[in-house]
């Protein structure tokens, strides 16, 4: 009985020691801009245990105080440059039209910079949206801030930030960026928000995410009853069946030896299991 009590005491003590260390491991996130996205993302980050610092042109206004109050005990607000200076991750939560210009006013060197803005678009002759630029905002921000590590994600509807289980399973989020460690850091944040991050390779794949974002708006343009978001399924690993690298002429990705570790909810299915399941 006495030994049991001592053991319990030691275990509880160890747990107490570990808990704050884990909390400290979470990076501080600056959310630059305090509009629609910030109003959903910031509180979600706060609930997930992150310290959020909102960057605003008017950090002392009452409505921002209210947002800070519902963004967890570690939340705060500051000017945009001050918020960026305090954070390891900077989310550019400003309108797409001004995102590059806003980034120009910020000291982003060494920061992980998260871009969620869709590409430049217009309505084409067929009445559907089309992209009007060959590069993504994220790539242009990266070019303006070579020492930042820019990451572009396919942000799902912000309704999933308030409730990632809105439809019973979390949406997938594609994560593109040239720095594997930055992709991994953002994947961890997304996972902590209850979303399912997937590696989308280097930053040039931001253009694909821009295109996918337009595809996602097609049901809305068609006035259909429901929109859709991305859900990636685990699929057949061809390398379990043949030499896929040779067969498909794959090159050698620059980050093959330092691939980001993406957290996942379900274990990886083994090759043996895939071979058992797949019938050609
Ligand atoms: N996936 C989704 O469901 C979803 C939903 C909403 C938005 N988004 C994306 O999130 C991003 C932000 O959109 P939003 O709707 O949150 O934008 P928003 O509400 O129109 O504006 C966001 C904030 O940016 C700041 N801001 C506005 N104009 C500025 C300027 N000229 N210079 C500097 N700061 C300025 C303002 O904050 P301060 O006044 O405090 O400085 C404003 O509250 C966009 O890329 C948008 O496409 C995605």
Which sequence spans correspond to the domains of the chain? 88-277
DSSP assigned state of 239: G
Is 63 touching ligand 1 by the criterion CB < 6 Å? no
State which of 30, 32, 36 you would mutate to test the pocket of ligand 1, scoring each by most atoms of that ligand within 8 A of its C-beta: 36
Q: Which atom of ligand 1 is nearest to the CA of 159?
A: 3
Fold of 88-277: Rossmann fold (3.40.50)
**Using the 8-state DSSP alphabet, how is residue 194 labeled?**
T
pLDDT by residue (tens digit) across 26-67?
A: 999 999 999 999 999 999 999 999 999 999 999 999 999 999
Rounded distance between C-alpha atoms, residue 125 and residue 119, angstroms: 18
Nearest to 197 by CA among 151, 162, 137, 238: 151
CA angle 30, 32, 35 (to 5 degrees): 125
Q: Is 92 in the pocket of ligand 1 (CB under 6 A)?
A: no
The position carrying tokens 């979470």 is: 26
* 93 C-beta closer than 6 A to ligand 1: yes
Q: Which two tokens stand for residue 170?
A: 């979390």
Query: Ligand 1 in contact with 105 (CB < 6 A)?
Result: no
- Centre of ligand 1 to C-alpha 37, Å, is 6
Protein residue whose Cα sits closest to atom 9 of ligand 1: 117
User: What is the layout of strands, in order, in the sheet containing 76-79?
Assistant: 76-79, 52-56, 29-32, 89-92, 112-115, 149-153, 172-177, 196-199
- Alpha helices, DSSP H only, in the chain? 2-25, 36-47, 62-69, 80-86, 99-104, 137-144, 159-162, 180-192, 206-216, 218-221, 244-247, 271-277
Asked if residues 92 and 102 have their Cβ atoms less than 8 Å apart, the reply is yes
| pLDDT per residue as tens digits for the range 66-114 | 999 999 999 999 999 999 999 999 999 999 999 999 999 999 999 999 9
**pLDDT, average across residues 121-132:** 97
Ligand 1 atom index nearest CA of 38: 16
């Amino acid at each position: 009985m006495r030994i049991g009590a001592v053991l319990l005491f030691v275990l509880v003590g160890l747990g107490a020691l570990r808990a704050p260390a884990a909390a400290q491991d979470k990076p501080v996130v600056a959310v630059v801009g305090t509009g629609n996205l910030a109003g959903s993302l910031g509180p979600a980050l706060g609930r997930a245990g992150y310290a959020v610092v909102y960057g605003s042109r008017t950090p002392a206004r009452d409505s921002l105080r209210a947002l800070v109050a519902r963004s967890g005990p570690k939340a705060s607000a500051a000017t945009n440059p001050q918020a960026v200076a305090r954070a390891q991750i900077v989310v550019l939560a400003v309108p797409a039209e001004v995102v590059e210009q806003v980034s120009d006013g910020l000291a982003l060197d060494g920061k992980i910079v998260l871009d969620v803005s869709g590409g430049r678009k217009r309505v084409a002759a067929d009445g559907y949206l089309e992209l009007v630029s060959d590069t993504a905002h994220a790539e242009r921000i990266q070019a303006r801030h070579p020492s930042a590590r820019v990451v572009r994600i396919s942000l799902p509807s912000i309704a999933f930030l308030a409730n990632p289980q809105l439809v019973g399973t979390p949406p997938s989020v594609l994560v593109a960026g040239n720095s594997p460690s930055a992709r991994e850091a953002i994947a961890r944040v997304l996972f902590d928000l209850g979303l399912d991050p997937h590696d989308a390779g280097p930053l040039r794949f931001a253009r694909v995410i821009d295109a996918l974002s337009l595809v996602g708006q097609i049901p809305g343009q068609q006035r259909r009853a429901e929109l859709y978001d991305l859900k990636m399924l685990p699929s057949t690993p061809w390398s379990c069946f043949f030499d896929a690298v040779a067969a498909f002429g794959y090159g050698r990705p620059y980050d093959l030896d330092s691939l980001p570790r993406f957290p996942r909810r379900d274990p990886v299915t083994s090759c043996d299991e895939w071979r058992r399941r797949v019938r050609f």
